[in-house]
Amino acid sequence: MSLIGRIAPVFQAPAVIKGEEIVEDFSLERFIGKKEVIFFFYPKDFTFVCPTELLAFQEKLSEFKKRGIAVVGCSTDTEETHLAWLCTPKNKGGIQGVTYPIVSDAAKTIAANYGILGGEWDYDEEGEMRFYGNPVAYRGTFFIDREGIVRHETVNDFPLGRNIQEMIRIVDMWHHVEKVGEVCPANWEKGKKAMEATKEGVATYLSSN
């Protein structure tokens, strides 16, 4: 089930912050009423596509910050593994230099609650519980507003890396809707015309494009 329009599932979990410090009780609730959040999941530390994404988020971090957005990553690895990866240089497959929080979901409950765990528990023919699928997170991305409500979500399969610039476009669209009250048509980008959510508004927009 989609989380769009619903309160983002709450949690408290270990995380690495500032690229070097482990905290035991990280929660997205710290941002409620203060900042919007891009909360993204990735499959595993020390892999191949994942470091390109985490480093790409870091490269665009200033763009997110100037829009008032906190970026938070999460995978089902332990916080110790996160820290080891953060301390590994880029030329050796690491993500040294990443400064935004990375949450540990070793219990896999956060990924399950967000609906992006790559499998599920079920009973086998002998009545025993077993996990079917891949027990790591898909590449899920969630844009959460200041009230803690999910306004955008996308989920990529394991081999498909994200377009980080698209996440910035999503943020810009939401801010335009909030500030101006217009809706954003296909392929809208910051600085382009939007339109009023009326038949007349649509007609005016279409006739001028």
Q: Work out the number of other CB atoms within 10 angstroms of the CB of residue 91.
A: 7
For Cα atoms 53, 105, 18, give the angle at the middle one, nearest 5 degrees. 60
Per-residue pLDDT tens, the chain, 209 aa: give them.
899 999 999 999 999 999 999 999 999 999 999 999 999 999 999 999 999 999 999 999 999 999 999 999 999 999 999 999 999 999 999 999 999 999 999 999 999 999 999 988 888 888 888 888 999 999 999 999 999 999 999 999 999 999 999 999 999 999 999 999 999 999 999 999 999 988 777 767 778 88
Q: Are 47 and 55 in contact (CB under 8 A)?
A: no
Active-site residue (options: 50, 74, 87, 184):
50
Question: Of 31, 24, 36, 29, which is closest to residue 9 (Cα–Cα)?
Answer: 29
* Alpha-carbon separation of residue 4 from 8, 59, 100 (angstroms): 9, 27, 24
Single-letter amino acid, residue 183 = V
Residues belonging to the chain:
209
In the chain, list all ranges with CATH 3.40.30.10. 13-162
- Helix then strand count (H, E) for the chain reads 6, 9
Would you call 50 a catalytic residue per the annotation? yes
In whole angstroms, what is the distance from residue 142 CA to residue 3 CA? 9
The answer for residues whose C-beta is within 8 angstroms of residue 209's C-beta and 6 or more apart is 193
Fold of 13-162: Glutaredoxin (3.40.30)
What's the predicted TM-score (pTM) here?
0.94
Q: What letter does residue 183 receive in the DSSP assignment?
A: B
Q: Work out the number of other CB atoms within 10 angstroms of the CB of residue 36.
A: 21
The strand pairing partners of 154, in sequence order, are 141
